[in-house]
Amino acid sequence: MIPRFAHARPGSFDEAFAAFDAAGGDAAWYAGGTELLQVMKMGLARFGTLIDLKGIAGLAGIAGDDAGGLVIGGTATHREIERSPVVHAVAPALAALAAQVANPRVRNQGTLGGNLCFAEPHSDPATFLLAAGARLDLRGRSGRREVAIDEFLVGPFATTRAADEILAAVLVPAAAPGEGRAYEKIVFRERPAVSVAVRVRVADGAIVEARVVVGSMTDVPAVVAGAGAALAGSSADGGIAEDSLTAAAEALARLPAEDDLDGSADYKRHLAGVLFRRAVRAAVSEALARA
Amino acid sequence: MIDPRDPGRSAVPSPIGERVPRRDGVAKVTGAARFTSDLAVPGMAVARVMRSPYAHARIRSVDTSAAREVPGVVAVVTAADLADVHLYYGHALADHPLIADGVVRFAGEPVVGVVAEDAITAAEALELVRVEYEPLPVVTTVEAALAPDAPVLHERAAEERPHRGFEERIERDHPNVCSTARQRWGDIAAAFDGADLVVEGTYRYPISYAFAMEPYTSIASWADGALTVWSSCQHPFMVRDDLARCFDLPQSRVRVIVPFVGGGYGSKSYTKIEPLTAALALRARRPVKLALSIDESILTTRGDGAVVRIASAFDRDGGLRGRRAEILLNTGAYAENSPLVGRKAANRIAGPYRIPAVDVTCRVVYTNTAPASSFRGFGAPQGNLAGESQIDEAAERLGFDPLELRRRNIVSPGESLWPGVRGMDADLDADVCLVAEQLDWWSPPAPGRGRAIGISASDAGSEPVTTSVVRVGADGSVTVTAGSTEIGQGSSTVLAQVAAGELGVQLERVEVLQSDTAAVSYDRSTGASRTTTLMGLAIAAAARDARDQLVGWARDTLAAAGGGVEETHGGVLADGTFHDWGAVVRAWFGGAYGEVIGRGYLRREGATAAMPPFWEIGCVGVEVSVDEETGRIRVERLVTVGDVGRAINPQLVESQDLGAAIMGMGMALGEELIWTEEGALLGGSMVDYRVPRASDIPAVTTLLAERGDGVGVYGAKGGGEGALNPVAAAVANAVRRATGVRLREAPFTPERVWRALRERDFGDG
Amino acid sequence: MPETVELGFAVNGRPATVRVEPRETIADVLRERLGLTGLKVSCDAQVCGACTVLVDGLAVSGCTYLAIDADGRTVATVEGLATDDRLSPLQQAFIDEAAFQCGFCTPGMLMAATALLAENPTPTRDEVVAAIDGNLCRCTGYVPIVEAILRAAKAAR
């Protein structure tokens, strides 16, 4: 059962920080609560006060920005993202991913902001957003700072967010001309066993840039630089060169991994390779369509 | 027995064989159905349990002083506080203390119980309890437990109890062997020496968790030295008897009441947390509810995992000459019902085949893991994976169609599988052909797909010991009392159908009162697929007893002296006039009141003298595909045959067959509990234990075979477990046909399949 | 004294007021304070769906949803599906298709199906499966549940 805690529901950022201070810092923000409440139930975390962010209007909603990218409010749920026309237009792979997170109830209740702040190593959105180069808008008492997601996720259940900072929005860049983004995962139990996100940019029928991220295998989603580099320069029209794919797969095969209930390290590396091929094909397809 | 097809004067149609809507339907779809977890009694307090973090340790000290001081705490209880209670229970071996007694034998064993006004107070109080442990060496696998220098889990031999389900003394050839069962006949050496082909292999079946969705829950209440317990359990009379023993009470002063049970599957057979709950209530001097979580339920009862070494000897013409097997069951820290599971595993690995020589030993081994007990299939699935895989392997090597090899060796109706047992009361050949036809056996599957058929025969029904009372009132309505529990199988419906059919009354006028040991007469258990068959027989006997009395009453009161009374459907003809049963009751009592009490007894006698009471058949077919990139198996098609003699309610049989087969599919594809060497359970929650979901379900056909060949009413036999037994082997055999790889360790996880595919392609695993 | 909060919300169309601790889940409050024991708690980890309850029409895991988050909202449970003692078409379909055995998953399944049909009155079989893929059933093998939901959708047309 959930241990006892005090509760606050601020209506603004200022009220939120005041509530945090009133709790003497022994407080946690929550929105959906799907992960936070679960770990509290399991006795793995405890807070004197829980502060509900759902009453702060500025945290809700999904909009496009002036550069054709997305501004996803910290309390937007996976369901809202799945159904958002602007997400479908700007990052269809993100909408598709949101539709596959956990189960319908978690999607109704859980938020993207909460998911990123909880920093579960098996997070679907974190893996994709790392490939997409998302940035995060963090609010503290002294104002706003923006941080790349690469610098936000630093360890299992660990981010560079200060405890009293609120994740106000997730900023997803627009797909540039010729850019495609894809996400593939394989699930054996509840959480993904392995996932791969790929962003490619294609010009003149060749891949000019690629970013490959593997999720669920390491403490944080991992950018596999060698795989991205191996793809760069490969032709994209009429299928990707096999030797590029093989070189990329070799980079994936060197990923650190641990044996766990989902499989041995070897097997998971193999799956990463399988998912990588599927994700690359999908990303290149989208890229060519946008070229 | 009245032939239900004779309408008689009352012209009430018989519900036998009808897909009557379930009686518990409205309650379950409106949320009105009450389970033990929904109940509360006045003055009730709530209990929580502190569990050992160590898999094997001596308890050096327990300090509960701070916990006792917490406001709202009513009692804090350890074994030391229960000197007036017989701590050890167990219907086969009384080796299980209701709370840890000086030593803990698995991580998760209850050590301290706290009773408080509410759950959060109990939880907070538990945090203040300090226990000091002295860790002992741990064994978690059967191999480790059987090593010569292995730590001994049970120093003292436990008392053997009469309800273990078989007659032989329990044999133990190693301190960590809980029991040994053997099955032997014929000349095994000659069988193997003269064979043209011997197939050998080692197979593994997972440690499973039944995942009854309602966790174990009990409420205990003492009043005037008598005990009442409500519990989510399958066998209220067995629990009653264990409670009576623990607390030195006459059985008549212990009442066990079972409302709807949210899933059983055997995992709620026999006694679980009831003695602990009653002990807490005793010390608390208040009624106490102990509601476990699912995570705690996983640590309370699981299914036996198995290692099976098997060899089968064949003639080149396909005749199965002999089968040898050594089965090791990992039964965890306490015996529970595993001695019987072991007995049945030894009996059932021969399959439904005519085998001149068999030599099987099954050892049930203690380990420092959660206790294993009954679980659907009950020793059959473990051996079936091995035995049925071997049939397909032999078929391949001898050049036979696997269906034809089975048909060549299956016993015929009436033939005994081994000396002294009831002849086969099923036409297995017909069953297997039904499945084959439905599966399009003789046309090749699509590329990348494979098909297989699997079959099992289980000595089921447990003991034919039961009773029932059928009461017919002055208005002709009927009350049936039955000790059977409603665990989802539909007993509350099918037993009403039997009574209505036997008495010729409308189904709507029959009420069944169940599973309250004070209000209903004795029934051994709800398990071993026995309820429709054996409780059905008891109800039929009680109905006949009622009818016999009523005919006599009619003779006394409704016919002129010397006049004729003739029994007919739904009543009597007295001097040519029809009187329904209610009229007879009223006439005899001389007013508008009264009741006849019909009693039915069942024991090993007459039709139920031969054992087993019936053979439970499992006959399934599957078609699978394999994603060779990931190793993931998908079951594309599933066919089951419910060979139940007579389906009193066909809907219920089909429901059970589908549910059982899907459960078997779960263990074939992904269900597995894994303990570390140190005795910690990896991922002991539903986040990690993967049961089938809606998207896993194949295209399904559930067939019925009704040949009237069972001992039960209208020729019925039991079902509900059979369809689970052959699924794992069928999947393994189908995967072999689809990909050429032979899987021997269930569950056939994607990784295991992938490794087997690599072995096929590269010679490395 | 633990901090308590007064909540007001509509349950099955009727206003309910209850004083709760913040830590109490909607499952706790429905089952223990309001006597609505139709919702069941099984896995307690948001996996099995036995505790599915609708808040403003959206299915959530009652075991991990704070009651205070339902303040001012509408909550729908299985007890509200029948009107004037008449079963809803969905409930009737579950009976007609025998889409239950032990019944412990049934309230959650019904609420998941209710949410689906409210949003998508003509689901395909695949859409039904996706909508209940997060609701576990250990007894039935799911086939009759899918059939029941499709049957109810058809009956409503």
Q: B683, A261: Cβ pair inside 8 Å? A: yes
Angle at B48 between CA B45 and CA B53, to 5 degrees: 170
Which residues in chain B have their CB less than 8 angstroms from residue A186's CB? 630
Report yes or no: C127 at the A interface, CB cutoff 8 Å: no
Which residues in chain C have their CB less than 8 angstroms from residue A82's CB? none
Phi, psi (rounded to 5 degrees) for B232: -85, 80
Q: B30, C81: Cβ pair inside 8 Å? A: yes
- Cα–Cα distance measured from residue B128 to residue B83, given in angstroms and rounded to the nearest whole number: 24
The predicted structure's pLDDT at residue B611: 96
pLDDT at B563 over 80: no
Structure-token pair, residue A289: 């369509």
Which residues in chain B have their CB less than 8 angstroms from residue C104's CB? 35, 212-214, 262-263
Q: With H, G, I as helix, E, B as strand and everything else as coil, classify residue C28.
A: helix
Residues 41-80 of A with CB under 8 A from C: 41, 50, 52, 54, 79
Mean pLDDT of B638-657: 97
Q: How confident is the model at residue B2 (pLDDT cuts 50, 70, 90)?
A: very low
β-bridge pairing A49-52 and A27-30 = parallel
For residue A143, what are the contacts with CB-CB under 8 A and spacing of at least 6? none
**Nearest by CB: A105 against C68, C69, C134:** C134
Mean pLDDT lowest among A122-136, B156-170, B552-566: B156-170
Question: How many domains does the structure of chain A reveal?
Answer: 3
Q: A2, C44: Cβ pair inside 8 Å? A: no
Residue of A nearest to C52 (CA): A105
Q: How confident is the model at residue B159 (pLDDT cuts 50, 70, 90)?
A: confident
- Which domain covers residue A75, as residue numbers? 60-172
Per-residue pLDDT tens over the stretch B461-499: 999 999 999 999 999 999 999 999 999 999 999 999 999
What is the least distance, in Å, from the CA of A52 to any CA of chain C? 9
Report yes or no: A108 at the C interface, CB cutoff 8 Å: yes
* Number of other residues whose CB lies within 10 A of the CB of residue B477: 16
The predicted structure's pLDDT at residue B359: 98
Report yes or no: B29 at the C interface, CB cutoff 8 Å: yes
Strand stretches in B554-671, DSSP E: 565-568, 571-574, 577-580, 595-602, 614-627, 632-643
Which residues in chain B have their CB less than 8 angstroms from residue A267's CB? 750-751, 754-755
For residue B320, what are the contacts with CB-CB under 8 A and spacing of at least 6? B312, B313, B314, B353, B354, B355, B391, B394, B409
The winner for highest mean pLDDT among B426-430, B461-465, B557-561 is: B426-430
Pick the CATH number of C5-79 from 3.10.20.30, 3.40.50.1970, 3.40.640.10, 1.10.260.40: 3.10.20.30
What is the CATH code of the structural domain delimited by B410-461+612-765? 3.30.365.10
Q: How confident is the model at residue B167 (pLDDT cuts 50, 70, 90)?
A: low
What CATH class is the domain B25-33+464-603?
alpha beta
- Cα–Cα distance measured from residue C127 to residue C146, given in angstroms and rounded to the nearest whole number: 10
What is the least distance, in Å, from the CA of C52 to any CA of chain B? 12
Q: How many CA atoms lie within 13 A of A144 on its CB side?
A: 8
Query: Three-state SS across B696-716?
Result: HCCEEEEEEECCCCCCCHHHC
Fold match flag (B25-33+464-603 vs B410-461+612-765): yes
Report yes or no: C74 at the A interface, CB cutoff 8 Å: no
- For chain C, the domains span 5-79, 89-155
- Cα–Cα distance measured from residue B23 to residue B266, given in angstroms and rounded to the nearest whole number: 22
The predicted structure's pLDDT at residue B750: 98
Q: B690, A188: Cβ pair inside 8 Å? A: yes
For A46-65, give the DSSP string: --SEEEE-TT-GGG--EEE-
DSSP state of B183: E
Which residues in chain C have their CB less than 8 angstroms from residue B659's CB? 101, 138-141
pLDDT at B690 over 70: yes
Find the Cα–Cα–Cα–Cα dihedral B452, B263, B252, B493, rounded to 10°.
-80
Which residues in chain A have their CB less than 8 angstroms from residue C45's CB? 38
**Nearest by CB: A5 against C23, C44, C133:** C23
Query: Three-state SS across B497-553?
Result: HHHHHHHCCCHHHEEEEECECCCCCCECCCCCCCHHHHHHHHHHHHHHHHHHHHHHH
Chains that touch A (3 or more CB pairs under 8 A): B, C
Chains that touch C (3 or more CB pairs under 8 A): A, B
- Cα–Cα distance measured from residue B155 to residue B140, given in angstroms and rounded to the nearest whole number: 17
The predicted structure's pLDDT at residue B7: 44
Q: Is residue A1 part of a domain?
A: no
- Cα–Cα distance measured from residue C20 to residue A4, given in angstroms and rounded to the nearest whole number: 11
List Cα–Cα distances, B690 to B532, B576, B679, B730, C96, in angstroms. 31, 65, 21, 20, 29
Enumerate the β-bridge partners of residue B75. Answer: B115
What is the least distance, in Å, from the CA of B674 to any CA of chain A? 9
* Number of other residues whose CB lies within 10 A of the CB of residue B84: 10
pLDDT at B165 over 80: no
Pick the CATH number of C89-155 from 1.20.120.420, 1.10.10.60, 1.10.150.120, 1.10.760.10: 1.10.150.120
Report yes or no: B683 at the C interface, CB cutoff 8 Å: no
Percent of chain B exceeding pLDDT 90 equals: 94
Residue of C nearest to B687 (CA): C47
Structure-token pair, residue B123: 């939880």
pLDDT at B680 over 80: yes
Q: A1, C68: Cβ pair inside 8 Å? A: no
**Nearest by CB: A190 against C5, C47, C58:** C47
The predicted structure's pLDDT at residue A258: 92
Cβ atoms of B517 and B235 within 8 Å: the answer is: no
Q: How confident is the model at residue B1 (pLDDT cuts 50, 70, 90)?
A: very low
The predicted structure's pLDDT at residue B3: 47
For residue B223, what are the contacts with CB-CB under 8 A and spacing of at least 6? none
Per-residue pLDDT tens over the stretch B178-197: 999 999 999 999 999 999 99
Cβ atoms of C2 and B124 within 8 Å: the answer is: no
Mean pLDDT of C56-74: 98
Q: Per residue in A37-70, is it b (16+ CB within 10 Å) or e — as a string? A: bbebbeeeeebebbbbbebbeebbebebeeeebb
Stretches where chain A sits below pLDDT 50 are: none
Enumerate the β-bridge partners of residue A158. Answer: A155
The predicted structure's pLDDT at residue B137: 98
Which residues in chain C have their CB less than 8 angstroms from residue A108's CB? 58-60
- Cα–Cα distance measured from residue B279 to residue B257, given in angstroms and rounded to the nearest whole number: 17
What is the least distance, in Å, from the CA of C97 to any CA of chain A? 24
- Cα–Cα distance measured from residue B166 to residue A121, given in angstroms and rounded to the nearest whole number: 51
For B65-79, give the DSSP string: HHHHHSTTEEEEE-G
What is the CATH code of the structural domain delimited by B38-138+226-296? 3.90.1170.50
What is the least distance, in Å, from the CA of B536 to any CA of chain C? 20
pLDDT at B162 over 80: no
- For chain B, the domains span 25-33+464-603, 38-138+226-296, 410-461+612-765
Cβ atoms of B70 and B116 within 8 Å: the answer is: yes
Which residues in chain B have their CB less than 8 angstroms from residue A188's CB? 670, 690, 749-750
**Nearest by CB: A186 against B123, B630, B689:** B630
Per-residue pLDDT tens over the stretch B275-319: 999 999 999 999 999 999 999 999 999 999 999 999 999 999 999
- Cα–Cα distance measured from residue B506 to residue B569, given in angstroms and rounded to the nearest whole number: 11
Which residues in chain A have their CB less than 8 angstroms from residue B683's CB? 261
What is the least distance, in Å, from the CA of A4 to any CA of chain C? 6
Angle at B306 between CA B305 and CA B310, to 5 degrees: 165
Q: How confident is the model at residue B135 (pLDDT cuts 50, 70, 90)?
A: very high
Specify the CATH number for the domain of residue A92: 3.30.465.10
Strand stretches in B689-765, DSSP E: 699-705
Environment class of B691 (CB within 10 Å of its CB; exposed 0-12, middle 13-18, buried 19+): buried
The predicted structure's pLDDT at residue B4: 47
pLDDT at B677 over 70: yes
Environment class of B5 (CB within 10 Å of its CB; exposed 0-12, middle 13-18, buried 19+): exposed
**Nearest by CB: A267 against B674, B686, B751:** B751
Which residues in chain A have their CB less than 8 angstroms from residue B754's CB? 267, 270
Q: What share of chain C is helix, strand, coil (3-state, %, to 5)?
A: 40, 20, 45
Per-residue pLDDT tens over the stretch B625-636: 999 999 999 999
Mean pLDDT of B70-97: 96
Cβ atoms of A174 and A162 within 8 Å: the answer is: no
Residues 595-654 of B with CB under 8 A from C: 651-652
- A230 and A258 fall within a common domain: yes
Q: What is the mean pLDDT of chain B?
A: 95
> Is-above-0.90 flag for pTM?
yes
Structure-token pair, residue A30: 């929550």
Q: A7, C5: Cβ pair inside 8 Å? A: yes
Which residues in chain B have their CB less than 8 angstroms from residue C141's CB? 658-659, 661-662, 692, 697, 700
